[in-house]
Structure 1
């Protein structure tokens, strides 16, 4: 796949579960993250151009919160060697009060 990213993504070593904000259902696990995008391991195929509101369940408290809520549009999805799917997302909505949490997570704080 031809990498068209404008920003380098940070690999996330902590186990961060991602849930659907509205249903609370598990979606997958965070693999990497940048200010404009992320990749998840997901249990089912996700159609491109789908829009989601996600809650990232942080492994601890980051800037007084344990959840990062953001909106994302799926860009691609393909099978991974693990039997799961890898899915790439463009971040489209990050509330102002969550911007610093996103930055801290990318910086590994």
Structure 2
């Protein structure tokens, strides 16, 4: 498989929840994370080629870290083995300077 990632992925060994900034709806939890994007495990389908404004919310024991807000494009989505969950890959397409610093800090803790 052609590996196109520019940055290393970090497995999320702690809970990082993802929420839609506009609705507050929980989209799922992060499985792995990099400066470029993340893989999400969701209880509901996420449409490929959809664009989201996301808030990555660290949970205990990292809940002292600030949330990270990003614009992200869902590149792919696959049903889980039970057909009730979904795996989805996101590419970060928009992040400001302060959120970029928060993301780097979060990655240092993973």
Give yes or no for TM over 0.5. yes
Q: 1:61 aligns with which of 60, 64, 68?
A: 64
Q: TM-score, normalised by structure 2?
A: 0.86
Could you tell me how far apart the structure 2 residues matched to 1:40 and 1:3 are?
Answer: 19
Map 1:1-109 onto structure 2 (within 5 A).
3-59=3-59, 60-62=63-65, 65=66, 67-81=67-81, 83-108=84-109
* Distance in 2, Cα, partners of 1:94 & 1:44: 25
* TM-score normalised by the chain length of structure 1: 0.86
Structure with greater proportional strand content: 1
Question: Where in structure 2 are there 5+ consecutive unaligned residues?
Answer: none
RMSD between superposed Cα atoms in Å? 1.7
Moved over 3 A (4+): 1-4
Count the aligned residue pairs.
106
Shift of 1:96: 1.1
